[in-house]
Structure 1
Amino acid sequence: MIEAAVIGCGRMGAFTSEGVRKFAPDCWFPLAHAEAIRQADGVDLVALCDASEDNLARAAKEYGVLRTYGDHAAMLAEGAPQMVGIATRTIGRTGIIADCHAAGTRAFHIEKPICNSMDELAQLEALFARDDTFVTLGAVRRHFAIYREAVNRARSGTWGELLEARVDMGRGALYWTHPHSVDLILLAAQGRAVEAVHARLGPVERDGKVVRNDPQILSASIWFEGGFAGHIGRAPGVDFRLSCENARVSVLNDGHSLWQAVVDNENPYPKPGRVDFDAPPGPQGALAPITQLAACLSGDADARAANARLKDDILMGQRILFAMIQSHFEGGCPVALDAVDPGLVVEARSGQFFA
């Protein structure tokens, strides 16, 4: 049995918000780390950690966990679990990951984004490069069957070349919202190299190389080798659209439905229609990445290969977020990923809270 713990017992760590439970489609569940771990075959939730005594007591009662800690160092002192869900605020997250890894933890399900600075990203790149370290991200849409179906259809070649992906998530902030957008675009890109990123952001509170706030993305594009592009807009809803030469494939309203519109020989105007899609059996929500981590720890070669690709995308996604900041600093001009200032820091504060 794989022993697991959750660090951070708030909304994402232990208690999915009522709004998400009310409105999100079924593919989102289970979403909270603790809930997903409890449902994962071969995984035992043995410990919880949170600085809030109230959160900790509530989570311990909900999940029947006896080992509870006010900080992760105390937990690790009594033995590192094989798997850890990290659902803290971003500030300090890199240190928690490093401490757990040094103590022996090898599988991590980490809320997004993964870090606050280019220096922290370099630390995580070195850690993620290890073959015995497995990582998944709280940007979980890529694991849902309906999103994978959309990408498979668009990349099938049936309707010509896949030209671009577009994600709209309303008036979303860079750190709070758009790690999800970037991750979906990287899912569609399927490992293509990034050539340039450009972005225009809302007001940025800046102190030298430190961005204090979590600015809104007004518009952003990611350009890949071969001409493929990903775009982020501000239309309401949560929609993911893939455009081929002769068709569009769309996941609308956060996974509620799949649509496609195909050009025919007589009518150049594609008519959209809903696709009847029933997800095949298998884990969804946060249970899907937790299941992948468990398979990696158990030595499954396919899971380990998939996770190696995922780790690359997680690191690339974080670097792209920093490149968007750099592009904004340079008036929205395209920037290469290696042109980001190595001293860049993003605190991502919204009022009294941090992403």
Structure 2
Amino acid sequence: MQETTLDIPSTAYTDSLRLSVAPMMDWTDRHCRFFHRLLAPGARLYTEMVHANAVIHGDRERLLGFDPVEQPLALQLGGSDPALLAQAARIAADWGYDEINLNCGCPSDRVQAGRFGACLMREPALVAECVVAMAAAVAVPVTVKCRLGVDEDDDYEQFAAFVDMQVAAGSAMVVVHARNAWLKGLSPKENREIPPLKYDWAYRLKAERPRLPVVLNGGIATVEAAQAHRQHLDGVMLGRAAYHDPYVLHLLECAQTGAPARSRTELLLQMQPYVEQWLDRGLALKHISRHLLGLYAGQPGGRAFRQVLSEGAHRPGAGWELVQAAIAVTGEGRDPG
């Protein structure tokens, strides 16, 4: 067992790791994150993965812009060049991000072709060089999100050695997506579903390294499951569940903090000023409303709510009144949660 000798993050930082929402391509944009912040005021939110080159050379307002209410907020970077990652991390820190996270878990062909994502688990020394460079460039925590291994890897000690190397390099925390990534033969969607989950590996990692903050990701869909994992780890990271059934994010926040649950409708009505502000700036409603579709999932009227928003939000001039109409068809104005 190897124990970290690094400075331990502050209590405020580790507290915010109790609940987080995973970085998800095409989903966790700034509008999604604003909505999730209303649902879970204490959760740590993550951006979509952004490649270091895009941060350096791209439209930074589009790629990095966020509302301060989204904080605590982490930027997830993709890349494998230490100098470029350090430069991108510095830019992100200057923009006000609270954490810089390196993606070592995405299995897509496009990401592999760029020599980043999950394939980096086969190059732990290179990842460590990246972490060292990023940590030297910024004052905020640098962290790593990884899988258990790649393809047929089935060696806990190899996985633990990868983590230890990144911690020694300066990673303040590790997010473990507790399954392997298959680089050939499975789509990114299948990679989130087919490789078996091995939560016990994450539990063991934490038990052997009690001072290292460890957050668990992968297959967590209910409050009960999340709370059970929290008995063993510093935090849980919800992915698709937080998007397809976002109210579970609110219920989990309440379970962890003791705050009373608020109704779906009450929470959604808080979005009105934000939505109208962006509509006034010329944004089409569909770019925000797509993140709201699952709020009434599994509830009476939930399918009708989704249908009203899906069919109407793309129409020119669609505004907040469409959201009100969608709420009305649920009959949940008095939603008890």
Q: Report the TM-score when normalising by structure 1.
A: 0.31
Higher share in helix: 2
Q: Which has the higher contact order (CA 8 A, sep 6+)?
A: 1
TM-score (norm 2): 0.32
